[in-house]
Structure 1
Amino acid sequence: MEKKVVNPWQWQDERSYVQAVEVKAITGTLYCSGQAAIHADGTNSTGDMKAQLILSLQNLEQVIQEAGYACSGIVRLNIYTTSTAELFSCFDIFQHWIAQHGIRQASTVLEVKSLFETLKVELEATVVK
């Protein structure tokens, strides 16, 4: 797989995303459903945004790994949240996770009126290898 990042500017670097990712010579593409703070037993987290973001990242990572892909192959990662203010107060957790895995992804952050039941954040990814 070949990945080429397209960044006409530099301001997005401190926000942990890129403007575009071109991918060539892939051997597979994984489209992940939105991963949220749902425990292994199927119950939703009632935790705060930080706790839910951590669990959502863990769930996304587990889905990606069980499919035989690597987090470094994420090329698109959309974030849905019920509160951008709450999300950005713990965004360093997200940025650390991105850096830890060497991810260079196109992203969109969307504030939505609600997510399922008690959920505050949901991560939707496209992964290639």
Structure 2
Amino acid sequence: MERTAVNPWDWSIKLGYNQAEVIEGAARQVICAGQTAVDGEGNPQHAGDMRGQIGLAFDNLEAVLKGAGMDLSNVIRLGVYATDVDEALKNFDLMGMRFGPHQVAPPMTLLGVTRLAIPGLLFEIEATAAG
């Protein structure tokens, strides 16, 4: 098995993790770290705005997938974490807007959490992709 790091930005390397890893062997998979509403320097964006944070988290997920030569059509599993599940669910139309054009509906888990790693973040999404 061969592992190749995918890091569109270098801020996470300083924290000890890759944004994703390409795993090659019998099958090709990408395991993405949780993506949140941060800019290219790792600074939180859209304070207090769940919809804005979901949108940017998806933008960041798509950037990581693109760095691995994939897109949302390759996502086979999602883990979603929200500090306010009800507010996140009100904005889940964004999920359909992102995945609908790819005609995929990956399995997912949504968990309510008291907080995320960086204070002020409301939403985090992690994905496993295969191709």
Instruction: Give the TM-score normalised by structure 2.
Output: 0.75
Tell me the residue number matched to 2:16. Answer: none
Q: Report the CA distance between 1:71 and its aligned residue.
A: 1.4
**Which residue type is aligned with residue 98 of structure 2?**
W
**Which residue type is aligned with residue 29 of structure 1?**
Q
Select the residue among 118, 122, 125 that pairs with 2:124: 122
Say which SS state the counterpart of residue 31 (structure 1) adopts.
strand
Partners of 2:43 and 2:108 in 1: CA distance: 27
Say which SS state the counterpart of residue 125 (structure 1) adopts.
strand
Q: Report the CA distance between 1:47 and its aligned residue.
A: 4.4
Partners of 1:85 and 1:121 in 2: CA distance: 12
Tell me the residue number matched to 1:95. Answer: 96
* CA deviation profile, 1:3-35 (whole Å, cap 9, x unmatched): xxxxxxxxxxxxxxxxxxxxxxx7410000000
**Which residue type is aligned with residue 49 of structure 1?**
M
Partners of 1:103 and 1:35 in 2: CA distance: 19
Q: Report the CA distance between 1:100 and its aligned residue.
A: 2.0
- 1:55 and 2:56 are equivalent in the alignment: yes
Unaligned runs of 5+ in 2: 1-25
Partners of 1:101 and 1:59 in 2: CA distance: 17
Partners of 2:67 and 2:103 in 1: CA distance: 19
Identity percentage over the alignment?
33
**Equivalent pair of 2:53/2:121 in contact (CA under 8 Å):** yes
**Equivalent pair of 2:48/2:122 in contact (CA under 8 Å):** no
Partners of 1:62 and 1:122 in 2: CA distance: 15
Unaligned runs of 5+ in 1: 1-25
What is the RMSD of the two structures over their aligned residues, measured on CA atoms? Answer: 1.3
Q: Report the CA distance between 1:49 and its aligned residue.
A: 0.1
List 4+ stretches of structure 1 deviating above 3 A: none
After TM superposition, the structure 1 = structure 2 runs for residues 1-129 of structure 1, keeping only pairs within 5 Å, are: 27-45=27-45, 46-115=47-116, 116-129=118-131
Q: Report the CA distance between 1:68 and its aligned residue.
A: 1.0
Q: Which has the higher contact order (CA 8 A, sep 6+)?
A: 1
